[in-house]
Each structure stands twice: as C-alpha cells, then as structure tokens.
A and B are shown apart, each in its own frame.
Chain A
Amino acid sequence: MSAAVLSAQQLTKRFGGLAAVNEVSVDLFRDRIHAVIGPNGAGKSTLTNLLSGDLPPTSGRITIGGVETAGRPAEMVSRLGLGRSYQKTNIFLPFSVWDNVRLAAQSRERHQPFNPLHWFTRASGLAAANARCERAIELAGLQHRAHTIAGTISHGEQRQLEIAMTLATEPTVLLLDEPLAGMGQAEAETMVALLQKLKKDHAMMLVEHDMDAVFALADQLTVMVNGQVIASGTPAEVRADEGVQAAYLGEEH
C-alpha cells in the first residue's frame, strides 16, 4: 500500500484537565474510507477539528502529503489539500449554490489582497474557478439547484452543498463530519452513493452515527470512547471485538 496521505500520530487535545482526544493515531489512504465511530462526546469532532487546523493539538504530529501541519491555521491546512465538511451545516446562506461553490473554488486562485489588479477583474470571469465550481456541483448532484439561494434548499441538499464546496478546493483528503446527519432515507442513499463515488480519488475520513452507512462504506474503522481509541481495524474485526460490543455497538445492535 502506498504511503498515507494524512498521518496523525499520538494526537492529544486537552481542555483543562479533560483529554478530549487522547493519544489518537490515524492514517488515511487514497481510495480508502476510514470511519470513526463512538458515542456522543467521544472526541470524534475534536479529532476532526485537530486534523483540519480548526483547533491546535496539545501534542502529537500531523502530516499531510509529508508536510507537518499540527498547529497550523485552518486556511493553510486547507491549501495543503485537506477539505472538510461540518457536522452543523456551514454554508453561505444568502448566496446562491453556485456562488457558494464558486467562492470555495476561487480560494485556489492566487491570493493577493493588496494587489490592485485583483480589485478590477470580475470574479465571475475566472475560468479555472468556474470550471472547478461546475465540476464540484455536478459531482455533488446539485446542477438543478445551482442558481437557488442556499438558504432555501432542503436540508439534504445543503449537506450536498457542504460537500460540493469542499470538493471545489480539489482536496486530496476529505474529512466528513456526519454527512448523513438529519437526512431521510432517500437523501441518505444519495449521499452514500456520492461518498462511494468520491472514494477513489480521495483519502477519506468519515465521522458518522448511521451504522448502516458506516458498515456499507468503511474499509477501516476506529472506535473512540472518552477520547481514546478502544478498537481499530476492518469492520469485521471491529464487529467481533468484545470490548466494542460492550462499550458501544451492544447498545444499538
């Protein structure tokens, strides 16, 4: 197997005396979906935030494509190829779907806020950004909503938009924080199909509560409880793990 696109070693995040994430290691590979499951408060979202640069880790290492990223701000981590979606839909509600995604796509153009030349060109005329935007919207299946205001589309579509914005930055690593949250049966199926489609080009980490989706999608599974990894392996291995059954799966299955 090729080298991990994202590798996190011994990540720890303390909030005062509480270790929200305690010595967690994760390796993400292209064409692999690595699911992270665990009860509420297990530290899954904190782990996501550490990897994406939204929070600095207390200790531990993170590399993306070989570049050390622990402690770097989110925008830099993003530009190193990490794209993330949020558990709570985090989009630009007053903008159209197209403008949401186009703005994300534009982030891969050159950044020169103090260059007056950038004050006179038209944002809508940036060909490369428009192409990325169109691809991402198509991939996420939102073509029919492209010119609708993001605040008026359905919850499921907003979750798709969330992913389209992430894709528009052409990431190598995708961190998806509960992409199925609050979705109906049909919407969830659409999303699962989308994730399957995205798998081959991305290293993917999936935080999810929907166990059917997790076992349908995941190649690798990490179970967290109280900030710690209690089991890690293939879905079959994890399912057989007695500790996991007692701590987590047992309650639901």
Chain B
Amino acid sequence: MSAPKAQLEKLPRSMQFMLLLGALALAAFPFIPLTGGDFYLQMLSQMMILAIFAMSLDLLQGVTGMVSLGHAAYFGLAGYALAFLTPADMPISLWWALPVSALGAGLAALVIGFFVVRTHGIYFIMVTMAFAQMVFFLFFDNKALGGSDGVYVNFKPDATLFGWAGIDLENKTTFYYLTLLLLVGVYAFLRRLLFSPFGRVLAGIRVNEHRMRAVGYGTFGYKLAAFTLAGTLAGVAGFLWAAQTGYVNPELMGFHMSAHAIMMIILGGMGNFAGAIVGAFAFEYVMHFFKDLPYVGDFHLGKHWQLWMGLFIVAVVLVAPRGLLGLGERLLARKGDVK
C-alpha cells in the first residue's frame, strides 16, 4: 500500500521563495506606475481579503478534514457587525471594531460549532450549511437587520492610533497595505499553528480521528477550537470586505460565498494555507477573465461564466488533484529542484 501523497505541509524551498516573491510583488504594486490606479488596487485588496477567508476555511477543510459548507456565515456576520457598530454620524475606531467584529463571528462559530463538530463527513457538510442558511435568512427576512437589501457602512473605520491620524483607510493605498499586512499576519500565524501541538492534533484528527481518541485525545474540544478559530479569522476577512465595499448584504453569508471558498482551496491545494492564497487569487482572476468574455454572434460567453468556471475547476481537479501548488511541486520536482 502506498502512502497518500503528502499535503505539502512543509513547503519546498523553491516554493517558499516564490511565495516571498509574490508577497514582495504585492508590496511593490502600488508603486508601479501605469497599473490602472485604484481599480486594480481595489481588485487586489479584494483578492487578498478572499485569500484570508480561504485560509480560515483551510484550517477546517485542509488541516482538520472538516469540509464546512457554511463558512461564509462568519464572514458575513463580522461584516454586519461593522455595519451596525458604525454610528450614523461618525466613523468607528478600527482598533476595537475589528477585534469585536472578528470575535463576534468567533462567538457565533463557537455556539454553532458546539452542535456541528459532533457530526462527521456528509452530515457535517449538511449541518454547517443548514446553520449558515439559518443565519442567511435571519438577515434576509428581517427588515431590522437590513433585509434582502443589506446595510451601508456609513464610514470607513478610523485608524487613528494614540492621536496619530497617519493611517487613513479612505485612502485606497493605505487600505491595500492594511489588507496585505493582515494577509501576511494571518498566514504566518496559521503556518506557526500548523506545527504547534494544537496543529498536529488537528492533522491527526484529519487522518484518523478514531485513533486519536484511542491514544487519549478528547477530539471534540480540538475540533470546536478549530471551528471557533476559523470563524474568527473568517470574521477578520468579512470585516475588511465590509470596510472596503462600504456595504453588506445577505449574499456575503450565502451559499455561493461558502462554496467559492471551498473551490479556492481545492484549486490552490489543501492543508498548507499557501494553496488557499494561490487558489483565491487564481479563482478571482479566472472568474473575472470568464466574466469578460465577449459575444460570439448573439451568444454572450461572459454571461455564462459559471459554466466555464465549472469546466475549469473540473479540469484542474483532473490535471492537478493536489491543486496548483501540488502541480507546481511536481513540475519543480521534475527539474530536480526539490530537496
């Protein structure tokens, strides 16, 4: 019996180097002239936000082996938290609105997780989706919570720190760097977590939960902690999304949002967080590409982007079962570059 392919938990040197290059490119992007100004800056900010969201789900899906089809609920809840925390006439401080919104999403994940992490496999998928749908309709059907139209975030959060107003989030470039900083921070945190005693237990649960219990691990607590943490980090992403767009609606916690995150992780490669980032960027890029497809005669190719997207994902899964990162590793290995 051959061992299942490793999940690239330990990234090869060459891949680490490329990720570093990618991060530097992102850091340098606002200084590159003729890149289209705010439009691309905002688009990249959005991709980075989705990358944080995808990483948070990867902690469950790729590391612990719990595929949640309701992860957008925590993303959306934090966005709504910002919308409702922001007063009508003035901005709210970033320094407490962000932690409160993220922890609020985490609290919701803790409560929902208490019920859902007892289930396994297909049941876990169904129950997480059911809870997310409940949250969705709680907002969708409730005028006081904005209803189907959603809620505006009246002001961008105010990042004044100890009287220093140097960070202005109205400035697209500043917001871009805040997002980049959080992307790198969340990635570094999760990589560290992956090799901590906690992270090793989560990986053990993915591979063989039964055996974990037999050697003395109360797996329920670990899964609940992972679910809560994932919800909190999804909240960080949701907060940024709401702050960037200045608007939240129930679609943020909808089924599509949850499903997209799953596809991003599959596209990039599971269980190492780098794949989630690569997947989020690739997914968004390809989606925009398909949406921009032209008319062929009377037929608008771009309007049917979901069809092309579906075919694309199927193709990637067939060609690269371990995602783009796994494919990259294979190509690098062929060049004798690994180890």
Q: Which residues of A contact B (CB under 8 A)?
A: 52, 54, 73-76, 78-79, 83-84, 86, 90-95, 99, 102-104, 106-109, 111, 113-114, 118-124, 126, 149-152, 165-166, 168-169
Contacts and interface: CB of A to CB of B under 8 A. Distances in A.
16 contacts: A78-B216, A79-B216, A84-B214, A91-B208, A92-B204, A92-B208, A92-B211, A93-B1, A93-B4, A94-B7, A106-B197, A107-B215, A111-B221, A118-B196, A152-B3, A166-B215
A113 B207 contact: no
Nearest to B3: A151
Contacts, number: 110
A127 to B, nearest CB: 12
B339 interface: no
A60 to B, nearest CB: 21
A145 B17 CA distance: 31
Interface in B243-281: none
A74 B221 contact: no
Nearest to A85: B214
Contacts of A126: 197
Range of interface residues on B (Cβ < 8 Å): 35 or more
B171 interface: no
A123 B222 contact: no
B189 to A, nearest CB: 8
A94 B197 contact: no
A107 B217 contact: yes
Given A121-B196, A122-B195, 19 more contacts: A78-B216, A79-B216, A90-B210, A92-B204, A93-B1, A103-B215, A111-B221, A114-B221, A118-B198, A119-B198, A120-B196, A122-B196, A123-B195, A123-B199, A124-B195, A126-B197, A149-B3, A151-B2, A165-B215
B6 interface: yes
B335 interface: no
Interface in B148-205: 189, 192-193, 195-201, 203-204
A118 B193 CA distance: 8
A86 B210 CA distance: 11
B212 to A, nearest CB: 8
A110 to B, nearest CB: 9
Max chain B Cβ within 10 angstroms of own Cβ: one of A75, A91, A109: A75
Nearest to B229: A119
Interface of B: 1-7, 189, 192-193, 195-201, 203-204, 207-208, 210-219, 221-222, 224-226, 228
Given A90-B210, A113-B198, A121-B196, A107 B216 contact: yes
Contacts of A91: 208, 211
- A73, A83, A103, A104, most chain B CB atoms within 10 A: A103
A93 B3 contact: yes
A166 B211 CA distance: 10
A92 B225 contact: no
Contact of A74 (B196, B203, B213, B228): B213
A123 B197 contact: yes
A103 B198 contact: no
> Would you list the 9 A-B pairs with minimal beta carbon distance, nearest first?
A151-B3, A78-B216, A113-B225, A107-B216, A104-B215, A123-B200, A149-B3, A113-B222, A123-B197
Given A78-B215, A103-B200, A108-B216, A94 B195 contact: no
A151 B207 CA distance: 12
A124 B200 CA distance: 10
A92 B196 contact: no
A73 B213 contact: yes
B195 A75 contact: no
Contact of B192 (A52, A75, A119): A119
A202 B214 CA distance: 18
A95 B203 CA distance: 10
B196 A123 contact: yes
Contacts of A124: 195
